[in-house]
Structure 1
Amino acid sequence: MRIVIGQPKMEKELKQLEEELMAHPDADMFIFPEGYIHANLEQACKLAGMHHTAIISGYKNPKDWAVIIDASGDILLNRAKYGEGSIAEVKGWRIAFLLCDELVLQGLGEQPESIDLIVHPIGVGMFSEEQFQEWIDLAKNIAKQHQAFMIGTSHADGSYRGAETSIPIAYCMNPQGEEIFIRKNDTRTILLDTETMQITAYEVAGWS
């Protein structure tokens, strides 16, 4: 599985997603932050179908919703934040969803079936070093508990309730709870190949 993990700036359109889709035509899946799709769910579905690539992110309706769109542009998962029903299958991978602070407030609980990947779109950066470490530690524990890859990413900008500190975050843990990569204040796009475990970071003009 070739997975693109983006840390775009907040925007009301999907220009940064479109740029990345064109830049990575061989990717199987794109993971973008909570709320990135904003009010453009229909357009995101069209982009997924046009580029034959799954898109995992979140949108506003008017509050935050989690969404998984398959490579045909069909919605596989669509639920409100703090809701239930968070398993979908993309290209043979069973994917569970934690939306931002669901990581802290509810976790995944017990899952009746095996999971291959847990996605964790985050709205904005961490408001302290302590929060950064807390979320990384929780992600490691959850990945190990469910024996699944776990990937999280936030926007490159924005802060939580006007906090003075905002630390952009992106990470990936393996099914043993070990880090594949952890990004702090590094908003480069990541391309992860889960077969070779090769990680490639890309600078994106205008993002940082």
Structure 2
Amino acid sequence: MNILIAQPLLEQELKQLEHELQNHPEVDVFIFPEGYINDNFELACNLAKQYSKIVISGYKRPKDRALIIDREGRALLDRAKYDDSILVEIDEKKIGLMLCDEIVIQGMNHIKPAKIHYIVHPIGVGMFSEAQFQEWTEEARKIAKQYNTMVIGTSHANGTYRDSKVSIPIAYCLDENGKDVFISKNDTRTKILTFETKQVITV
């Protein structure tokens, strides 16, 4: 199974998602940041169905929601931010989804330890400080070790949080022992991860 981890620019349409779907038929799962899908919920579902791919991201209606779309274009997970329902089974894999600051506000403590194949962490804009970058990756590391599962996160390539003048784009993958598969800072190139071997290529 191949997983694409994208760091797109903020946009009103889904041109970058469509581009990745068209150009990477070898990929099964496409991970985009929190809020990337924006108001394009139906379009995202149609694209997932058209290309028979799994799409994981978030959108606004009008507030932030977490979203996992299956190969048939169905929203298997569509929940408000800070809701507890964060697990879904798809393609015989159990997937967790933490949206942006959920990782530090509520984490996974309300979920009993169970077999989770991987956890996805879509982030909105980049980190507003080096300290935040370290804090969030360390929280992800703890979760990876606690649940013995891979954790994958990504943010947009641009945009800042509120009035911050700093935006550090982030993408990362930690293995089930909390060790780095990769941690990307200020490198917004797309990554493709092979789940079984934990090999990563940058495209």
TM-score where L is the length of structure 1: 0.95
Instruction: List gaps (5 residues or longer) in structure 2.
Output: none
Equivalent residues in 2 for 1:1-208, closer than 5 Å: 1-112=1-112, 113-202=114-203
TM-score where L is the length of structure 2: 0.97
Q: Distance in 2 between matches of 1:26 and 1:89?
A: 21
Q: Distance in 2 between matches of 1:61 and 1:148?
A: 30
Residues 91-118 of structure 1, C-alpha deviations (whole Å, 9 max, x = no match): 1110111100000000011434321111
- Count, aligned residues: 202
Which range is displaced more, 113-122 or 152-161? 113-122
Residues 40-70 of structure 1, C-alpha deviations (whole Å, 9 max, x = no match): 0111001001111100000001110000001
How far apart are 1:196 and its partner, in Å?
A: 2.4
Residue 23 of structure 1 aligns with an amino acid whose one-letter code is N
Q: Distance in 1 between matches of 2:4 and 2:123?
A: 15
How far apart are 1:162 and its partner, in Å?
A: 2.1
Helix, strand or coil at the partner of 2:200: strand
The answer (yes or no) to whether the contact 2:84–2:110 under 8 Å persists in 1 is no
Helix, strand or coil at the partner of 1:9: coil
Residue 190 of structure 1 aligns with an amino acid whose one-letter code is K
Q: Distance in 1 between matches of 2:197 and 2:67?
A: 27
Q: Distance in 2 between matches of 1:60 and 1:110?
A: 24
Q: Distance in 1 between matches of 2:196 and 2:95?
A: 17
Helix, strand or coil at the partner of 1:152: strand
Q: Distance in 2 between matches of 1:22 and 1:91?
A: 21
Q: Distance in 2 between matches of 1:111 and 1:60?
A: 25
Q: Distance in 1 between matches of 2:151 and 2:35?
A: 19
Same amino acid, percent of matched pairs: 55
The answer (yes or no) to whether the contact 2:41–2:59 under 8 Å persists in 1 is yes
How far apart are 1:200 and its partner, in Å?
A: 0.8
Q: Distance in 2 between matches of 1:58 and 1:49?
A: 17
Helix, strand or coil at the partner of 2:94: strand
Residue 181 of structure 1 aligns with an amino acid whose one-letter code is F
Q: Distance in 1 between matches of 2:167 and 2:45?
A: 30
Residue 120 of structure 1 aligns with an amino acid whose one-letter code is H
Helix, strand or coil at the partner of 1:58: strand
